[in-house]
Structure 1
Amino acid sequence: MYIRHSWNAVPKNWVSLGQPPPGTTIDLYIALKPQRENAVVDALYEVSEPGHPRYGAYLTKEQVADLVAPHPETLELVNSWFEHHGISSSSISTTHGGNTLKLKGVSVTQVNTLIGASYQLYRHVESGETIVRTVRYSLPTALHRHVLTVAPTTSFVSPPTQWQTPRIRSSRKTAELVKLASGEPATMLSSRAQIDYVTPPFLRWLYDTVAYIPMAMGENVLGVVGFLGDYPSPTDLSAFMHKYLEADDATFRVDEIRDGGYDATHPHREANTDIQYAEAMAYPTPHVFYSTGRGPTGTADYYLNWLEYILDEMNIPQTISWSYGAEERDLPREYTSFVCNCFATLGTYGVSVLVSSGDDGIGRGNCVNANGVVRFIPRFPATCPYVTVVGGTTNYDPEVATWFSGGGFSDHFLRPAYQRQAVPPFLRDLGNRHQGLYNDSGRGVPDIAAQSFNFLIFMNGQEQTASGTSAATPVVAGIISLLNDWRISTGQDPLGFLNPWLYGTGRAALTDITEGSNQGCGMEGFSAIAGWDPVTGLGTPSFRRMMERLF
């Protein structure tokens, strides 16, 4: 046995509560390295790059399973390992596109022996959430070159809730935004066009979706991902849509995943914001909300639960909105690589995944790492190269970057090919500022941005405000869903993985943001400049201009 991954100490904000309850079991995922290491990513770029002969020729599940298949020797060794430890073949299944083995309902005691671990119950000091994890695990030496990662083991994922400023709205100021959207003079707006509240009419006017009516309702679907027991209220959605769009029939389907549950009588601000603004942008497109749990004893993994479910679905929504994330430094590289490859698989199916960049700017707190060194803290899955990441803006004419907009550079993933032309100009402009505090060869975050401050939402029948890039993300997802609707209704394929197009011909359809900066780590962060920047990415969307660039 040889250590596969370990932490020198329990990750920050987590404390051990000792051994998990007797009888605790784990569904353990063993992600195997494929025989053709980069086959899925290569296929993703082929089907996502405009002008490539295979553009839009999305893959079937059988084709993906063939690309990710492990070497026969890998399966032989792994099965021998299971057999040696008495793992019943009846408890083993294949998941996550075909390269992952799932051991269902294995006792913690048996897993400790299998991977040389010492699982304990941990509590997050801020949220109170409890999970079962280990700070180290091992594998037989012969398996290290065959196994990508084992999970859940050392991944301390605790998705944060939305950054928010709850307060009741002013109906007079709200009316000014409605006037603005309809073309009437808005007397309360300053010469700099600072706005007090964001509403659906304002967003639809600002991003030029007002005149478009979806036509592919029988085929096009928008999915919204939820974690942590965050539930949306259909009653609040009805009140919201009635007030702002006179759309009394707006609704959504709920898919419960791994004890995710659903209690409409106890809505959460995050889930309400996500559903209300995704619906506001894409109505009457069908919506599905995924309520994803961690299992009854906190033994499972939010991300892997959802990815297992969605990758097994026959009909996956063409657009997905994901407003959660965790500090990349709290996750093993092998784990983030595995999850990121699952997002790549979704892209090969023709799915556009929009992820929030986070609301801590360049990092939360003082950003001192385990070695006592200040280091900016990027967030995952925003750092995954195979998703489209949404940063935050505020005001209009011009829009400017919000101070909390998450942005920076990954420590786990290198700069992808589609960013090779866009990112270096920013780094040259930055010069020696913040030198050594970030990875200047890492994947840059975000890719795109949208309004993110002071959104009016309905909560338990009352109007309140909410803010964050997690509010911007469903807005952009709604716009992408409209583009997918237009393409499907005209006999074309959905957009799928967006970034090769966005950084290419689609870039001209975005409004560059050149003012504002983010903060964090007790200092000023990065600034928005002409071109790409790690605060607002390439800029904000214009639906009509994006349509024109897709002809």
Structure 2
Amino acid sequence: MRYLLAFQAILAPSVFATSSVVFESLHQVPRGWTWTQSAQPEEPVKLRLSLKQQNLDEFYENLMQVSTPDHPRYGQHYEGHELRSLLKPSDEATSTAVRWLQENNVTSIRDDGDYIFLRTTVATANKLLDTQFAWYQNEAGEHLLRTMRYSVPQEVAAHINFLQPTTRFGSTQPLATRLNIMNSGETATGQSKWISAPPELKENAALAVNSSCNSTITPRCLYQLYNINLKGSSAGNNQIGYASFVGQSARQTDNSLFAQTYAPFAAGKNFSVVTFNGGINDQTSNNDSGEANLDQQYAMAVGFDVPAVEFITGGLGQLVPDGDTPNPADNSNEPFLEFAMGLLAMDNAAIPNSISISYGENEQEIPLAYATQVCNMFAQLGARGKSIIVASGDSGTGDFCQANDGTNATRFQPQFPGACPYVTAVGGTRGIAPETAVAFSSGGFSNVWPRPAYQDAAVPAYAQQMANNFTGLFNASGRGFPDVATQSVGYRIIQSGRDVGVQGTSAAAPTFNGVIALLNSARIASNQSTMGFLNPWLYSNASAAFNDVTTGTSAGCNGQSRFNGGPNGSPVVPNAGFPAAVGWDAVTGLGTPDFAKLLALAAPNVQNQGGVISGA
């Protein structure tokens, strides 16, 4: 990291002689915001400039090689310093950006490698970017310093991804998670509700599932349903991680009560916390902690006995308002960029081998350059042997099904980061014998990323069939998601000392995370690499190790808000929904995991035994 003082370049002529180009712009002030006044020249401005990385084509080729099971380089993951050396911006990119800033009298510059952070005044920023910063106010009375457009010299434009905050009207007001609390529950006493199990797992796991699991999901249900009977470990620095955003923090007291009630084998187990970007480990306030508690309690239980790490990231990400979130005061865009930056700065040994993210937004709400950068960073984590597992979303085909690009076209709404091709997206099911797709499970096809090669055998036939049913409503050649699914309804958690039921694909993500954490334990015990980027393996070797879900359908685009059930003004698409089908589908992906089969593929020398069921 370098700090640079600006100077007046008086000896050498400027290299920025060509005309500037408009780099980002808005056609109108975003809905929910009003221009109030021009900014004063002396007011301070802080900006982040993202530099383009080198060798991205080589990187993506290498990523697929180390992630594809039949390739000779499978499992030969990068160390952090190796990847940073490969991808670091060119000296020309850095020097061009720094010189441009210095020639325009920017007084404080910090070079952080992939980013340059700068502080200056409104007057200098206006001149630098050929723009006019102004103050805008939203309906909640919050004020932001923003601009409607900015320009940079062509020489600079060739080297940067974005410069923000400028045109992005986000908010720092966190909202409650979209985790759905099904009932307020009862005060948790710590009395065990560990349900008795059959003496052994059967070949058909569904036959061994307690009937209560048809409506109530506990760790015991998941072990039985998904044929899990292996105890994980911390050997080889194996850890399981999860993200906590928008002010969420898992509570130690709730975690202890959950273990006593539903996972007695984990009694006394704790979790560690890492904070990024000013995140706060809040153990005492009355703030909502439901999502973080769910993530911790089921990562710990399903992935037992792999140590759990919570990553609390402060701040909110960038928002492009649309009909779903027309008021930026309602911004719940999560700080994905800061989260990924924090992880990538760590040594490989310190980063958990599998990490779940139970947060997301409409893909179109995320600025393209921002989304592309974050997706690239998740790919980098995959190349370093880390599996990124995300909830597919809880809005089915979409809530407010209208494009925000000025056309107002009716469109299904894919989700971010689930539609990023370098994460594993987890959809939702409910019920047992058989499991069925749950209506709120988000899925579909990306408008940003094309279908990756690893999906070429599984996805096209389904996509074409759906395109015939819903002409023009989605991009049939886009990356299809979700990739897999697990139970998503009726999970019991302890929240603020109460035993409550919750639902959402935010429950599915930590569940599948636990499955992968156990596979990593088995592979480490066999002197094999960690799983890393999962999808090439899932769609080739492991596709037969999933329980195919063929009943149920997603829903959405019905003119009703997913938040309060009232009318939201969205275009209505009659019978909108992606149905479950034989093979891959856009509501449950490849299906739900059969752990014993996955284990036989990932670590054939390790037996599915010795876990909490056989030890109960």
Q: What's the TM-score, normalizing by structure 2?
A: 0.80
User: Is residue 140 from structure 1 mapped to residue 153 from structure 2 by the alignment?
Assistant: yes
Task: Say if 2:209 and 2:221, in contact at 8 Å, map to a contact too.
Answer: no
User: Which is further off, 266-275 or 488-497?
Assistant: 266-275
| Partners of 2:307 and 2:249 in 1: CA distance | 18
| SS of the residue 1:215 aligns to | coil
Query: Which residue in 1 is equivalent to 2:182?
Result: 166
The amino acid of 1:289's aligned partner reads E
Query: Which residue number in structure 2 is paired with residue 216 of structure 1?
Result: 234
Contact 2:279 2:314 in 1 (8 A): yes
2:150 counterpart of 1:150: no
Look up the equivalent residue of 1:178 and give its one-letter code.
I
**The 10-residue stretch of structure 1 (103-112 or 480-489) with the greater mean CA deviation from structure 2:** 103-112
Alignment partner of 2:474: what SS? coil
Q: State which structure, 1 or 2, has the greater radius of gyration over its C-alpha atoms.
A: 2
Which shifted more, 147-156 or 47-56? 147-156
- Match in the other structure for 1:178: 195
Q: Give 1:380 deviation, angstroms.
A: 1.1
Where structure 2 has 5 or more consecutive residues not aligned to the other structure, the ranges are 1-19, 202-206, 319-328, 559-572, 605-616
Partner of 2:306: 285
Q: Give the Å deviation of 1:131.
A: 6.8
1:443-462 matched pairs, under 5 angstroms: 443-462=479-498
Q: CA deviation at 1:166?
A: 3.2
CA–CA distance in structure 1, aligned partners of residues 334 and 122 of structure 2: 15
Q: 1:355 to 1:142 in 2, by over 3 A?
A: same
Query: CA separation in 2, counterparts of 1:502 and 1:188?
Result: 28
> Aligned residue for 1:15?
33
Confirm whether residue 312 of structure 1 aligns to residue 341 of structure 2: no
> Corresponding residue for 1:534?
586
The alpha-carbon deviation at position 377 of structure 1 amounts to: 1.0
Listed as ranges, the gaps of 5+ residues in structure 1 are none
Give a deviation string over 1:36-65, Cα, whole Å, max 9, x none. 341221221111111212111111223212
Look up the SS of the partner of 2:336 in the other structure.
Answer: helix
Which sits farther off after the overlay, 509-518 or 106-115?
106-115
Q: Is the 8 A contact 1:386 1:497 kept in 2?
A: yes
Output the amino acid matched with 1:310: L
Q: Distance between the aligned counterparts of 2:422 and 2:122, measured in 1?
A: 33
- Tell me if structure 2 keeps the 8 A contact 1:390–1:447: yes
Q: Could you tell me which amino acid in structure 1 is paired with residue 157 of structure 2? A: H
**Partner residue of 1:546 out of 583, 594, 598:** 598
Is the Cα–Cα contact under 8 Å of residues 218 and 492 in structure 2 kept in the other structure? yes
User: In 2, are the aligned partners of 1:257 and 1:293 still within 8 Å (CA)?
Assistant: yes
Contact 1:92 1:104 in 2 (8 A): yes
Report the identity percentage: 36
Alpha-carbon distance in structure 2 between the residues aligned to 1:276 and 1:130? 38
Q: Please tell me whether the aligned partners of residues 176 and 187 of structure 1 are also in contact (alpha carbons under 8 angstroms).
A: no
2-structure distance, mates of 1:43, 1:20: 49
1:34 aligns with 2:48: no
CA–CA separation in structure 2 for the residues paired with 1:26 and 1:275:
38
Aligned match for 1:49, one of 51, 58, 68: 68
Deviation at 1:21, TM superposition (A): 9.8
1:102 is matched by which residue type in structure 2?
I
The structure-2 alpha-carbon separation of the partners of 1:43 and 1:198, relative to structure 1 and needing over 3 Å to count, comes to same
Structure 1 residues 203 and 187, CA gap change in structure 2 (3 angstroms): closer
2:277–2:338 contact (8 Å) kept in structure 1: yes
* AA matched with 1:274: D
**Against the structure 1 CA distance between its residues 79 and 201, is the aligned structure 2 distance closer, same or farther, given a 3 Å change threshold?**
same
Cα deviation, residue 245, structure 1: 1.7
Structure 2: which amino acid aligns with 1:47?
Answer: V
Deviation at 1:312, TM superposition (A): 0.5
Are 2:208 and 2:225, in contact at CA under 8 Å, matched by a contact in 1? no
CA distance in 1, matches of 2:387, 2:335: 20
Measured in 2, the distance between the counterparts of 1:244 and 1:348 equals 36
Residue 123 of structure 1, CA deviation: 5.0
Q: What is the deviation of 1:74?
A: 2.4
Secondary structure at the aligned position of 1:382 is classed as coil
- Report if the CA contact (8 A) 2:317-2:334 is conserved: no
Q: Output the amino acid matched with 1:148.
A: N
| Bigger mean CA deviation after superposition, 263-272 or 62-71 | 62-71
Which whole-Å CA distance do the structure 2 matches of 1:132 and 1:207 have between them? 51
Instruction: Tell me how far apart the structure 2 counterparts of residues 548 and 302 of structure 1 sit (CA, whole Å).
Output: 37
Measure how far apart 1:415 and its partner are: 0.7
Return the letter of the residue paired with 1:532: W
1:489 to 507, 522, 525: 525
Cα deviations by residue, 1:313-335 (Å, 9 ceiling, x for unpaired): 12211111111112111222222
Match of 2:10 in 1: none
Of 474-483 and 77-86, the range deviating more from structure 2: 77-86
CA contact (8 A) 1:26 1:105 kept: yes
**Of 374-383 and 360-369, the range deviating more from structure 2:** 360-369
Match of 1:382 in 2: 418
